[in-house]
Every structure is written in C-alpha cells, then in structure tokens.
Amino acid sequence: ETGVTQSPTHLIKTRGQQVTLRCSSQSGHNTVSWYQQALGQGPQFIFQYYREEENGRGNFPPRFSGLQFPNYSSELNVNALELDDSALYLCASSSQAGVDYEQYFGPGTRLTVT
C-alpha cells in the first residue's frame, strides 16, 4: 500500500509568482485535505476536497485554490505569492466511506518565498 506522496519536496519562489503543489492520496482514499504549517506553529486547515469538489475551507484568501482529479490526487495553487506564504504545506488523505476518518499525512512541501 502506497502512502501519501507530495511533490516537490522543496521550492523557492519570488514574491508575486504563482506555485502549484501536488499530492497523491493513499490507495482507497477519496478525500484530500491541505494544511499550512508556518515555522514553529501547528498546521492550519486550508481546504478539503471530496470526490473532486471543495468540501470546506479554512480562513485563507481566494488566491489559495485547489483541484482534485478523478484518481483523487490533488493540487494546491497559490497565486500572487507573499512572504508570509513561506511554510510547510501538508497534504492529508482520508476515506469518508466508513467510520474511520483518520487523516494520513504526506511528508510535505517546503515553500520559501523571497
């Protein structure tokens, strides 16, 4: 069974640019959630996708957007990057098909905005 994978591992962007981060969910999982973890902080919920539709959003501006594909993999897009967007971006997959809603996290993408 393959776990959650994310790419790239690290990324450096300039303020104002756009970035796309990718996540492959664990086999059998139909839900993907994205979290932002700033240095020294706990992860903050960005949004969740269930069966290719957004299923809840945290307190993040519209320049944070996402997609989920038919194979349940997902992308996080951030436009007009700001310095404060520098963080570890974590993807988590889960299954809402049963009672076990545990979220399984990937290793994250470290984004640095200069």
Partner 1 sequence: GDSVTQMEGPVTLSEEAFLTINCTYTATGYPSLFWYVQYPGEGLQLLLKATKADDKGSNKGFEATYRKETTSFHLEKGSVQVSDSAVYFCAFFSGGSNYKLTFGKGTLLTVNP
Closest CA to 82 of 60, 66, 49, 107: 60
Look up residue 85 and give its DSSP letter.
G
Choose the binding region for partner 1 from 12-20, 22-30, 50-58, 78-86 (rule: CB under 8 A).
50-58
CB closer to partner 1 out of 15 and 101 = 101
Distance of CA 32 to the CA centre of its chain: 8
Say how far apart CA 44 and CA 37 lie, in whole Å: 6
| Contact pick of 42, 62, 70, 98 for partner 1 (by CB under 8 A) | 42
**84 lies in the binding site for partner 1 (CB under 8 A):** no
For 71, residues 6+ apart whose C-beta sits below 8 A from its C-beta are none
CB closer to partner 1 out of 65 and 96 = 96
What is the binding site for partner 1 (CB under 8 A)?
4, 31, 33, 35, 40-45, 48, 50, 55-56, 58, 90, 92, 94, 96, 101-108
